[in-house]
Amino acid sequence: MTDQEFSAFYAATYPRLLGQLVLVCGDRAEAEDALQEAFARAAVRWHRLRSYQAPEAWVRRVALNLTRMAARRLR
């Protein structure tokens, strides 16, 4: 039931991660884009990530990295 596990993980962590990213980047749309991409990458790797102690931290790190890369491209 990995699809159900991932869906539950997504529902439980999305609001908290979105709030954190909005605070970091200051733009809700940008935060949503980065977070959606991070969750898409997590979905592909869920078979491995689900065994992590804190898969939420992995998604957060990926989203933050995507936000930083987007900021660099704008400069």
Summarize pLDDT for 1-39 with one digit per residue, the tens: 578 999 999 999 999 999 999 999 899 999 999 999 999
Q: Is the pLDDT of residue 75 over 90?
A: no
Pairwise CA distance, residues 57 & 61, whole Å: 6
- Phi and psi torsions of 53, nearest 5°: -65, -35
Supply the pTM of this predicted model: 0.91
Please count the structural domains in the chain: 1
Domain span including residue 70: 2-74
Res 70: pLDDT: 80
Res 74: pLDDT: 72
